[in-house]
Amino acid sequence: MSDRAAIEHAKQEPRAEDDLHRPVIGFALAGAVLAVLVIGVVDLPRAAAALPFIARHAMEIALPKWGQNEVVSEIVYGSRGWDTFGETFLLLAAVVSVVTLTRSPEPRTEYVGESMAGRQEQQEVDPKGDGSGGEQQEARQAEENEEDDASDLAPNSDNVPLGTPGPERAAGMSVVVRVGARIAAVPIAVAACYLWLWGYTPGGGFPAGAAIMGVAIVMYTAFGHRAVRPAVRPAIVEPIELLGAMAIIAIGLFGLLFKDSMFANYLTLAVPGTIRAGGTNQLYSGSEFIEVATGLTIAIFSLLGMKHDWAPDEDGDDSEEDGSGSSEDRSSDGDGSGDAS
């Protein structure tokens, strides 16, 4: 049974909304989980409880062993350095998953001769090889038009005069939002860099990376994708992210080499409160900043930049179901989308 036929078959069956079994089971399970959670949380430490051993241990070693005042940073990059390493590569795995899910379909290679067969077919459809062959050219043209749509309407959102009657043609938002974004982006970026380089020494690469990514999101929201495209191109961000990941691995391995322990400090400790405080933790924090900032940027902009790779119609007669938006999408999808199958 094809996917489309299966959907139609499923729609003919009694739907869950026609009966109450889903809400009843949902409320019963959620209520049971809530009861277990309430029983559990009443025994959790209260506000007057003593700190657990591991927290007290971290407080005691932060200054003498790592030479740093910020205990949370000491835990992130020191006491739990190995765990942070695992979490970082969990982040990297998530980014790879997003990139894999969001990328456009790739042409098939010579795996079982499909490419050769495809070339023969292409030769029959398009003997000149210049893309002048009917439907394919139309589909390609439609896709190019869609990509250039924003630039055709408003090359620069700042060029749209105030009071221009609607509909809004600018790729960005109103002048109020654009000015607000310009003003907000600078202190956010400065705060992120301060947190990265200094913080309570060493800085906090994790929150700083998320904050600097916030600048890109603010600019994207206010000015549209074209304004941030040069800074968030995969060709730029992906190598930087991999460099950050390699730096983290190198910092850990040098600790193993020099001090017999992954992520052990092998640098001379500087005076607490100075920019070099924390030994290798400052390097780890900087690498983490790169990794988090670029990783989140890749994940979010890959998601925002997903193309309209809609599955082609099997029967071609349901155009009235999806409205004009879907028909536009289909027109730009002449080569099908086997990636999701």
Partner 1 sequence: MIVANYVAAGILFCIGLLTVLTRRNLIKIVLGLSLMEASTYLLMVSMAYRRHSTAPVLTSPPDGKSFADLVHGDVADPVLQNFCLTAIVIGVAVTAVFLSAAVRVAQHYRSVDADDMTALTG
Footprint of partner 1 on 85-104 (CB under 8 A)? 87, 90-91, 94-95, 97-98, 101-102
Contact 269, 279 (CB under 8 A): yes
Return the residues of window 194-233 that contact partner 1 according to CB under 8 A.
200, 204, 206-207, 209-210
Residue 263: exposure state from Cβ atoms within 10 A (0-12, 13-18, ≥19): buried
Q: Does 275 contact partner 1 by CB under 8 A?
A: no
Q: Which of 195, 200, 204 is nearest to 284 (CA)?
A: 204
State CA 311 to chain mean position distance. 24
CB of 316 to partner 1, least distance (A): 13
Q: Does 48 contact partner 1 by CB under 8 A?
A: yes
Q: What is the dihedral of CA 46, 47, 52, 56, to 10 degrees?
A: -170
Spell out, one character per residue from 2 to 41, where the chain touches partner 1: x when CB under 8 A holds, - when not: -x--xx-xxx---xx-----xx-xxx-xxx-xx--xx--x
Contacting residue, 120, 159, 324, 341, with partner 1 by CB under 8 A = 341
Contacting residue, 154, 192, 264, 299, with partner 1 by CB under 8 A = 299
Contact 216, 184 (CB under 8 A): no
CB of 124 to partner 1, least distance (A): 29
222 contacts: CB under 8 Å, gap ≥ 6: 172, 173, 177, 178, 180, 181, 182
Contacting residue, 122, 174, 221, 337, with partner 1 by CB under 8 A = 337
CB of 113 to partner 1, least distance (A): 27
CB of 34 to partner 1, least distance (A): 4
CB of 168 to partner 1, least distance (A): 25
Contact 179, 200 (CB under 8 A): no
